[in-house]
Amino acid sequence: MTDKTVASICPECDTKIRFNEGPGLGAFVRCPECNTTLEVVRTAPLKLGWAFEEPFDEEEGYRVRRRN
Ligand SMILES: [Zn+2]
């Protein structure tokens, strides 16, 4: 039997986050422990990073950047 469960560590609180199967690159997950939104930055091995860009924030950030 092959266990397809994969796990990675939350960069914020070091909690081990498990997935039933490997999430896709760029997928967003929420840490159940610290509620931080994380993004899959690498799939093999699975690595999570902070998700700085949320869909609706992107436009806002762009507008701010243009103003500078
Ligand atoms: Zn966390």
Q: DSSP assignment of the chain, as one string?
A: -----EEEE-TTT--EEEESSPPPTT-EEE-TTT--EEEEEEETTEEEEE----HHHHHHHHHHHHH-
Question: Ion ligand 1 — residues with CB under 5 Å?
Answer: 10, 12-13, 15, 31, 33-34
Per-residue pLDDT at 10: 96
Q: How far, in Å, is the centroid of ligand 1 from the Cα of 8?
A: 11
Fold of 6-67: Rubrerythrin, domain 2 (2.20.28)
How far, in Å, from the CA of 37 to the mean position of ligand 1?
9
Report field, pTM of the whole predicted structure over 0.75: no
Q: Give 23's contacts (C-beta < 8 A, 6+ positions apart).
A: 29, 40, 43, 46
Q: pLDDT tens digits, residue range 10-61?
A: 999 999 999 988 899 999 999 999 999 999 999 989 999 999 755 555 555 5
pLDDT interval class at 63 (50, 70, 90)? low
- Å from CA of 49 to ligand 1 middle: 11
